[in-house]
Amino acid sequence: MNIQLKKVALLLACFCITLCSFSQNKKFYIFLCFGQSNMEGNARFEPQDTINVDTRFKVMEAVDCSALGRVKGQWYTAVPPLCRCHTGLTPADYFGRTLLENLPKDVTVGVINVAVGGCKIVLFNKDNYKGYADTAPVWMKPMIKEYDGSPYDRLVEMAKLAQKDGVIKGILLHQGESNTGDTTWPAQVNVVYKNLLKDLNLKATAVPLLAGEVVHEEQNGICAKMNTIIDKLPQTIPTAHVVSSKGCGVAKDNLHFNAAGYREFGKRYAAVMLPLLGYKMKTEN
């Protein structure tokens, strides 16, 4: 009998060890990021952006990047680029860094960034994307191909892997330039948001959507009129929050942000997210 009890105890111990080794870390906060070129990262990152990156800030690579030594579906310290292999600085960079500066030291932050420069929001509609992808401009097709033809499916695929490690706490969106003037944009975003919630078994009340404005009219943004539509997003999605772009540095094309602008924008995304997580910016304490 003692031998049998020992065997049972050993089996239970092994089960516990196995279960614990694959358990979800509730203090690993994961954020999904998607959109077009300003989420992809248009500005070149600078030396200051690649040093002293906290190892508690992680990125799950969404494509294979042999030159970076990164493999799709694996976590790495979030040194840019955070989107595809040759993209630039994004709002996600300083979003994550700013969160960590204001969250408890035992919290880890992870981001997954799937974005395609120049795309309309329909590219992330899992039911209607294919017609758009098939007729996309020649220069856009290689970017879509890196996600095996469906950026939405790749985002969900990576998110499901990430859920084994941590908890999805929010979704970051920067898109709209290619939909400028389209009053159906909020409804289209809502379709994508609801699909993500359903496919990842998430609740809207626990996973807010943060949407950034395009380059502001005060910076002579060529798509600035889209902000009047973006600003109305919470009317369609009650758990959506808009992040102001006013005053963020811009590139010469007045379409993209510059590196300084992305840094500031990322901090603003974090400033909006922190209260939703139950925290305040340290400067506000």
Supply the residues annotated as catalytic: 37, 253, 256
- Report the C-alpha gap between 189 and 234 in whole angstroms: 11
DSSP readout, 97-109? HHHHHHS-TT-EE
Q: How far is CA 99 from CA 83, 171, 179, 189, 280, in A?
A: 19, 14, 30, 25, 10
Q: Is 281 left (phi over 0), alpha (psi -120 to 50) or beta?
A: beta
Residues 6+ apart with CB under 8 A from 11: none
In the block, tokens 């579906």 appear at 73
User: What does the chain come to in residues?
Assistant: 285
Query: Which of 40, 155, 47 is CA-nearest to residue 88?
Result: 40
- Report the C-alpha gap between 120 and 271 in whole angstroms: 27
